[in-house]
Amino acid sequence: MPVATLQTTLPAHHSAVTADADSALECPSCGSRMTATPNPYFGAGLAQHRTIALCNGCQHIAFLAEPEPEPAMEGVAKRMRALFARR
């Protein structure tokens, strides 16, 4: 009985890329254009990136880093500390 084996013709490469929303994505491996798509695994397991980029030339996968949001509670916490420090 023959056994099927999975072979990839291109090696899978991945990296993290920071990019502006306005700029075109360029592959760090081959310089081709990359297409940004939603990460189908976001929210499941350890997937932390909402968006991934796939190279049209060499199938390089890049995780698009998102800017970290400013903590909203910082101003409230500072006011609360100041309130209790006055006593």
**Domain region containing 27:** 14-85
14-71, pLDDT tens digit by residue?
565 655 544 678 888 888 888 888 888 888 877 778 888 888 888 888 888 777 777 6
35-50, pLDDT tens digit by residue?
888 888 888 877 778 8
Q: Which residue has the tokens 């006055």?
A: 86
Q: Has residue 50 been placed in a domain?
A: yes
Compute the C-alpha angle 45/48/52, nearest 5°. Answer: 115
Q: Has residue 76 been placed in a domain?
A: yes
The total number of structural domains that make up the chain? 1
Q: Has residue 4 been placed in a domain?
A: no
Q: Has residue 46 been placed in a domain?
A: yes
Contacts of 21 by beta carbon, 8 Å cutoff, 6+ apart: none
Q: Has residue 3 been placed in a domain?
A: no
Helices and strands (H, E) in the chain, number of each type: 1, 4
